[in-house]
Amino acid sequence: MDDKESAAPNPSSAPPSDEVSCDLRTIAALKACIREAVARRRGEPTRVARPVDWHLLAAGLRQVEKYADIGSGVPDLPRFRGPFRLLGRLFARCVLYFARFLTNRQREYNNAVLNSLRNLAEALRRLEDNSREELRRWQLEPKHLPSDSAKKAA
């Protein structure tokens, strides 16, 4: 029983906050080493989150916008010349008119999906900005652990 009492930590002798923060950093480093070892054992490389390429995403959305309004206009048909072009455009206009019941629904669906993608991209951008700002704030401010006087006041 004497061994158990001597092994128990003494709550009245709390280590200084510098020592505690050093211990916490050591624990975090140890956890990272363990995660890397587990990843190596599994044969999985450690994944680092890459930031989203916002310019590429915006370019993709602009490209999709071009084709979202299906059936909204008659094609130019530049490969046909003269009266064949007029006949081809007339035929295309007739096909679009009779297929309007399909193209209207498809156009509505395309625009709804495109708006959802825009909203998701904007929400993801805000989330990335907020997490980057919070991470920066955590790195700049010192880690404050509650002291004994703060515990007593509470």
Confidence at residue 109, expressed as pLDDT on a 0 to 100 scale: 93
CA distance 75 to 78: 9
pTM to 2 decimals? 0.52
Which token pair is 143?
């880690």
Q: What is the pLDDT of residues 44-85, one digit of tens each?
A: 555 666 778 889 999 999 999 988 888 888 888 889 899 998
SS3 143: coil
Amino acid at 36: E
- Residue bearing tokens 């700002």: 133
Ranking 72-86, 93-107, 139-153 by mean pLDDT, the lowest is 139-153
Q: What ranges do the domains of the chain cover? A: 16-48, 51-143
Closest CA to 132 of 54, 18, 26: 54
